[in-house]
Amino acid sequence: MNDAVRYTARYFDGRTARPRNVRISIAADGISIYRDGGVFIAAWPADRVVLPERPRQDEPVIVGLDETTSRIAIDDPSATQALLDAFPRAHRRVRTNRRGAIKIAAWSAGAIAAAALLVTVIIPLLSAQLARQTPDAIKHRIGAAALEQVVKLIAYLPGENRRAAYCVDGNGVAILRRLEDRIFAGMADPPEIRLIAVKAALVNAFALPGGYVVVTEGLLENAESPDEVAGVIAHEIGHVVYDHPTQAIFRTTAVSLLVSAVIGDFTGGVLIGAVAEWAINSSYSRDAEREADDFAIERLNETGIGGAGLIRFFERLLAAEGPKEEGAMNFVSTHPPTPERITRIRELAVTGKAESRPTLTPGDWRALQSICRATAARPPAFPTGAEK
Amino acid sequence: MDQTPTIPASAAVAPAGETQAVFDGRRWPLFRLLLVNILLTVVTVGIYRFWAKTRVHRFFWRHTRLLGDPLEYVGTGSELFVGFLVAIVILVPIGGIYSLLQFLTLGTAGYLPLVLDAAYYTLILFLIQVAIHRMRRYRLTRTAWRGIQFGLDGSSLRYALISFGYGLLSAATLWLAYPWLRVATMRYFFTHARFGDTSMTLDASARWLFRRWLVVAIPFGTATALLVVLNWTAASEMMALNQRAAEGQDVSGELAKIWTSLVWWPAALVVAGSLVQVWYRVVEFRYLLSHVSIGRSGLRSDIGAGFVYRVFFLFWILFLGLATALIGGAIAILPEQAATAPEPGNAKAFLSLMTAVLMFFAFFLLLGLSGILRTLLVDVTLLKRACETLTISNPEALEHVAQSSAALPSRGEGLADALDVGGF
C-alpha cells in the first residue's frame, strides 16, 4: 500500500445522519476510512466505489459506496484524479451517461416501433372493426349531430353569410334523388344514403356517418356539367360504402389518445402533437380517398356516366386551389385532388361516352343548380333505417 | 445576485445567525443543461423527457445545501420511464372507454352526456390527487442528505380522499374554506413524511390562514359578484349584436363596449386577483414551513412577499419583451418574402405556407425560451431566497436520525407525468 493517497474528508456512514471528520486512504484495492486519531472505521472495496456525480471544479468530490447512500466528501480537488487512477470502474460508472444514451436510444426506437405498429396496423383495424360493430341507429344519430355542426361551421367561414341553410327546392330535391338512383343503377344492394344540398359559396362535398352525403351550392354552381356532380357524389358515396366517416371518428380519437400519451407535457408538446396528429390522419385519408375513387370509377363505368366529368372537375379544382389542405374539419371526409389521383382515375375510368343518354337533361340540370332557391334552417327529414 | 462562495464540505455546522441553507447553482450551467434537454426531447419525440427531468432534479438537489451538506437526488430516468409506461396502461383504457361512451351518447338529448363528462372529469381530478401523493413519495424516497434517505408513508388513496373531500367543501363555501383544504392536505403530507426514521409534523392552524385568506377572497369575490351583476345581460346583448352584424349593420361601437365589459374587465380582475394571491401564497408558504418539525428540530422561514413580486415582475417584463420581439420579428420577415415570391398562383400558397412555418417556429421558440426563462429567473431565484431565509432550530438533533428500513417504491412518478402534474 505504498501508493496509497491520503486525504481529510467528511464521512456519512449511511446509518445515521451524523457527519464525521475522517482521514481516508485511497489505494487500488479500495478506500480505507480512519477516525482522526487513526482508529480504523470502515473499508470500501474497489469494485463498489462509485462517483455518483461527475466531479466538477470548485466543488467537493463526492464518493459513494454502490447501492447505498453512504458518502465521502473530499474538499481537495486533486482527489478526483487520485480516485480515477485508483478506480477506473468508478470512472466508467460516471460515464454511464454514454451507456445510458444507448439505452435511451434503444428504448426510444422500441417505443417508436410500437407506435408505428399501432398507427399503421392496429388503429385502422380496430377502428374499422368498431365502425362495423356500431349499430346503424347510432351512426344516424351521430351523422345528424355532425351534419348540424359542420353546416353551422361552414356558415361561419369567411365569405359565408353566417346562417346555416339547407336547400329544399322541391324540383331540385327530386332531381338530386334521380341522380342518386342513376349512380346506383344496376347495383345489387345499394347503401342507404341521405343526399343533401346546403347553401354555401364554398366548393365542397363530404360524407358523414349514417350515410349523409352533402354537396354545397358552390359546388353545383362551379360544376360545368351534371357528369361532374355525379362523379363527385359517386366519390362521396364511396366513403359511405366503406364507412370511412365512422372509422375516422374512432381513428382520430385513438390517434389523439396515442399522441398525447407519447408526447406528454414537455415544452411545445402540444404543437408537435397537433402536427403529428395531422400527419397521421392525413396519411389515413389518402388511403380512404383511393378507396372512394375506386368505388366512384366502378359506378361511373358501370352506369355509363363515365369518368370524364370527375376528372374535369378535379383538374379545375386543382388549378384553382393549388395542392393544399382545406380547413381542418374532423368529420369531413374530403381530401383535395392531387395530380396522382387524377392520373389514376384517367387510367381506370372509361372517359369516352359509352352511352348517348345524358346524365341529366339540360332542364333538369338547371333545376338542380337552383336547388337553393328555397332554403330551410333544418335538414330535410329522412326515414330512419328502422322505419324503412 | 452575488455569487455564493462554495462551502467546504468539511465545514462544521454553520454558526447561529448565518444562513443554514443555500442554493448555489449557477445559471449558466443550468441554462446549457435545459437547452440540451429541450433539443434532445424534441429529437426523441418526448421520450427523453424522463432523463431530462432527472438531470434537472440532480442539478437542483446537488446545489441545495443544508447545514453545509448538499442534498443528493438518487432517482433515475429509467424509473420515471417505467412509471410512465404503467400510467399509460392505466390511463389509455380509461380515456378509450370515455371516448367510446362519448361516441355512443353523441347527439342524444338529455343529461346523459353531461353526466358522463362530470363522471370522467371527477375521476381524472381524483387521479390527479393520487398522482400528487405518489410523485411526492417518489421524490422524497429519491432524496438523500448526509447519507440518509427521506421517505413518505401513508396511502395515496387516502390523500386523494382528504384532498377531494376538502376540495368539495371549498367549492361549496365558494372557496372560503380553501385554507382548511391546504392545511388538511399539507398536514397529511408532512405527518407521513420522514427523514430516515424520524417523522415530520405540521402544527398549523387553518383559522390563522383563513384571516389572511380573507384579504384575497373578499376583494376578489366582491369584484367578481359586481362584474356578474353589472354584466348580467351582456352575453345576450352580444348575441343580438352578432345577429345584427350578420344582417349587415354596423355595430362596431356597441361591440367594443360589450367587449370591454365581457373581456377586458374580467381580464383585469384575473390579473389583480393573481397579484393578491401571490401575497397569500408567500404568507402560506412561510407559515406552513415555520410549523414543520423534524423530530426535535424545527424549520422557520422568513421569506417576504416583496421579493417574490420583484422576481415575477422582472420575469413578466422579459417574457412580454421576448414575445413581442419574436412575433414582431416573424411579421417583419413576411413582407420581404412577399416581394421576392414568384408570380401569383403559387405565390399565395407559398406565402401562406411561409406564414405558417414562421409562426410555428416563433411560437415554438417562445414556448421553449419562456420555459427556460422561468426556470432561470423564477425557480432558481425563489429557491435561492427560500434557502437563505430558512433557519433550522436545534440542528444537532438531526445527527441522531438513523436510516429507515422501509422499502423504496421501484417506479417513477408516471401518473403525475401523464396527468401533467408539474412543479417541484
Question: How are beta strands A205-208 and A212-216 bridged, if at all?
Answer: antiparallel
Q: Whole-angstrom Cα distance, residue A279 to residue A256?
A: 12
A155 contacts A164 by C-beta, under 8 angstroms? yes
What residue type is A98 in one-letter code?
R
Residue A52 at interface with chain B, using a CB cutoff of 8 Å: yes
Cα B60-B61-B64 angle, rounded to 5 deg = 85
Whether residue A60 and residue B8 make contact (CB cut-off 8 A), yes or no, is yes
Q: What is the largest CA-CA distance in chain A?
A: 114
Whether residue B246 and residue A13 make contact (CB cut-off 8 A), yes or no, is no
Partners of A166 in beta bridges? A198, A376
Q: Which residue has the higher pLDDT, B47 or A42?
A: A42
Q: Alpha carbon B93 to chain centroid distance?
A: 27
Q: Which residues of B touch A265 (CB under 8 A)?
A: 417, 420, 422
Chain A, chain B: beta-carbon pairs less than 8 Å apart: 166
Mean pLDDT along residues A14-34? 92
Instruction: List the grid coordinates of B192.
Output: 407521513
Q: What is the SS3 assignment for A11?
A: strand
pLDDT band at B18 (very low <50, low <70, confident <90, very high): low
CB atoms closer than 10 angstroms to residue B293:
19
pLDDT digits (tens, 9 = 90+) for B172-217: 998 899 999 999 999 999 999 999 999 999 999 999 999 999 988 8
Mean pLDDT along residues A77-89? 85
Q: How far is B197 from chain A (nearest CA, A)?
A: 9
To which H or E segment does residue B77 belong?
helix B77-104
Q: How far is B315 from chain A (nearest CA, A)?
A: 18
Question: Whose CA is closest to B373, among B311, B423, B318, B309?
Answer: B318
In this prediction, residue B13 carries a pLDDT of: 46
Instruction: Tell whether the model's pLDDT for residue A258 goes beyond 60.
Output: yes
Residues belonging to chain A: 388
Greatest mean pLDDT among A107-121, A331-345, B239-253: A107-121
CB atoms closer than 10 angstroms to residue B165:
12
Instruction: Tell whether the model's pLDDT for residue A330 goes beyond 50.
Output: no
Q: Whole-angstrom Cα distance, residue A77 to residue A177?
A: 89
Q: Whole-angstrom Cα distance, residue B204 to residue A307?
A: 80
CB atoms closer than 10 angstroms to residue A33:
20
Q: Whole-angstrom Cα distance, residue B196 to residue B144?
A: 9
Q: How far is B4 from chain A (nearest CA, A)?
A: 12
Whether residue A268 and residue B8 make contact (CB cut-off 8 A), yes or no, is no
Mean pLDDT along residues A307-323? 78
CB atoms closer than 10 angstroms to residue A43:
11
In this prediction, residue A94 carries a pLDDT of: 42
Residue B5 at interface with chain A, using a CB cutoff of 8 Å: no
Residue in B91, B106, B124 to test binding to A, most A beta-carbons within 10 Å = B106
Instruction: Tell whether the model's pLDDT for residue B106 goes beyond 80.
Output: no
pLDDT digits (tens, 9 = 90+) for B270-326: 888 888 899 999 999 999 999 999 999 999 999 999 999 999 999 999 999 988 888
In this prediction, residue B386 carries a pLDDT of: 96
Mean pLDDT along residues B10-27? 68
To which H or E segment does residue B390 belong?
strand B390-393
Partners of A74 in beta bridges? A9, A61
Whether residue A19 and residue B107 make contact (CB cut-off 8 A), yes or no, is no
Residue in B47, B50, B66, B142 to test binding to A, most A beta-carbons within 10 Å = B47
Mean pLDDT along residues A252-273? 71
- Judge residue B159's burial from the number of C-beta atoms within 10 Å of its C-beta, 0-12 exposed, 13-18 middle, 19 or more buried: buried
Cα A139-A144-A147 angle, rounded to 5 deg = 120
Question: Whose CA is closest to B222, among B273, B259, B180?
Answer: B273
Instruction: List the grid coordinates of B82.
Output: 417505467
Whether residue A17 and residue B345 make contact (CB cut-off 8 A), yes or no, is no
ipTM of this predicted complex? 0.77
Q: Considering CB atoms only, which of A58, A103, A162 is closest to B6? A: A58
User: Hey, CA dihedral for A70, A76, A77, A82, is it positive or negative?
Assistant: negative
Q: Which residues of A touch B418 (CB under 8 A)?
A: 261, 264
B308 contacts B278 by C-beta, under 8 angstroms? yes
Q: What is the SS3 assignment for A26?
A: strand
Q: Whole-angstrom Cα distance, residue B270 to residue B281?
A: 16
pLDDT digits (tens, 9 = 90+) for A94-148: 444 455 567 667 766 777 787 788 888 888 888 888 888 888 888 888 888 889 8
Residue with grid cell 436510444, as numbered in its chain? A105
Whether residue B103 and residue A74 make contact (CB cut-off 8 A), yes or no, is no
Q: Alpha carbon B326 to chain centroid distance?
A: 25
DSSP string, B97-137: HHHHHHHHTTT--SSHHHHHHHHHHHHHHHHHHHHHHHHHH
Question: Could you tell me the CA-to-CA distances from B365 to B315, B318, B327, B333, B362 in Å, in that order?
Answer: 17, 15, 10, 16, 5
Least confident stretch, A320-334, B161-175, B357-371: A320-334
Instruction: Tell whether the model's pLDDT for residue B344 goes beyond 70.
Output: no
Residue in A11, A13, A18, A133 to test binding to B, most B beta-carbons within 10 Å = A18
Question: Could you tell me the CA-to-CA distances from A247 to A238, A243, A244, A297, A332 in Å, in that order?
Answer: 14, 6, 5, 22, 12
Q: What is the SS3 assignment for B251?
A: coil
In this prediction, residue A174 carries a pLDDT of: 93
Buried (b) or exposed (e) across A272-297, using 16+ Cβ within 10 A? bbeebbeebbeebbeebbeebbbbbb
Instruction: List the grid coordinates of B129.
Output: 390527487
Q: Which residues of B touch A261 (CB under 8 A)?
A: 88, 91-92, 418
Whether residue A276 and residue B6 make contact (CB cut-off 8 A), yes or no, is no
Q: Alpha carbon B71 to chain centroid distance?
A: 22
User: Hey, CA dihedral for A12, A16, A19, A23, is it positive or negative?
Assistant: negative
Instruction: Tell whether the model's pLDDT for residue A61 goes beyond 70.
Output: yes
Q: Which residue has the higher pLDDT, B376 or B343?
A: B376
Q: Whole-angstrom Cα distance, residue A368 to residue A217?
A: 10
Q: Which residue has the higher pLDDT, A182 or B82?
A: A182
In this prediction, residue A96 carries a pLDDT of: 41
Q: Whole-angstrom Cα distance, residue A254 to residue A243?
A: 17
Residues of chain A numbered 322-341 and touching chain B (CB < 8 Å): 322-324
Residue with grid cell 462509485, as numbered in its chain? A50
Using CA atoms in the order B89, B95, B100, B106, what is the torsion angle rounded to 10 degrees? 180
Least confident stretch, A44-48, B15-19, B189-193, B400-404: B15-19
Chain A: residue whose CA lies nearest to B353: A324
Q: How far is A164 from chain B (nearest CA, A)?
A: 12
pLDDT band at A11 (very low <50, low <70, confident <90, very high): very high
Q: Whole-angstrom Cα distance, residue B364 to residue A272?
A: 9
DSSP string, A148-175: HHHHHHHHTSTTS-S---EE--HHHHHH
pTM of the model: 0.78
